[in-house]
Amino acid sequence: MVDGRAPVPMGPFQCADVSKRLGKFENTAPGDDGLTYRHWKRLDTECTVLTEVINVCLRYKMVPPAWKKAVTVLIYKKGAKEDLNNWRPISLSRTLYKLYVGCVAGRLTEWLLSNKVLSPCQKGFLPADGAFEHIHTLN
């Protein structure tokens, strides 16, 4: 227990947990392996293999080194294409890594919210209203 709170539940994920998280992802650009979320949804419809992979990473507290690598590409914004200020870099990570991180982050966020650990001023990167209240106050 920490400050009288139950510890963060970091036991194995269930297929339903992984399937729910996978369903939240749009079919965005993949990392260097070329695998999209659509591929995972078609290859492992019950999420049994994905759940096992995620649980192995959780059990051993490590991920494959290749998951930590990302491909950086430049996305054109507007203006003169010759001006580098008109380009925005984005990093493309492997979808399996993002799924793993999403599962762990989701569980941690649920614990933080249910145990009222976060300040009420914290609005960004949380479910529900986001930063709307802060933006409204500023306006």
The set of residues, in sequence order, having a beta carbon less than 8 Å from that of 34 and lying 6+ positions away, is: none
Q: What is the pLDDT of residues 105-129, one digit of tens each?
A: 999 988 988 888 888 777 777 776 6
Question: Quick one: tokens of 30?
Answer: 């993949």
pLDDT band at 130 (very low <50, low <70, confident <90, very high): low
| pLDDT for the residue 1 | 54
Model confidence, pTM: 0.83
Listed residue (42, 129, 32) closest to 73, CA to CA: 32
Q: Are 89 and 72 in contact (CB under 8 A)?
A: yes
pLDDT band with cut points at 50, 70 and 90 for residue 131: low
Q: Which helix (H) or strand (E) holds 21?
A: helix 15-24
Q: Read off the pLDDT of residues 40-90 as tens digits, 9 standing for 90 and up.
A: 999 999 999 999 999 999 999 999 999 999 999 999 999 999 999 999 999
Query: What is the per-residue pLDDT across 1-50, written as a single tens digit (0 to 9) for each?
Result: 557 788 888 899 999 999 999 999 988 889 999 999 999 999 999 999 99
Question: In which residue are the tokens 């051993």 written?
Answer: 60
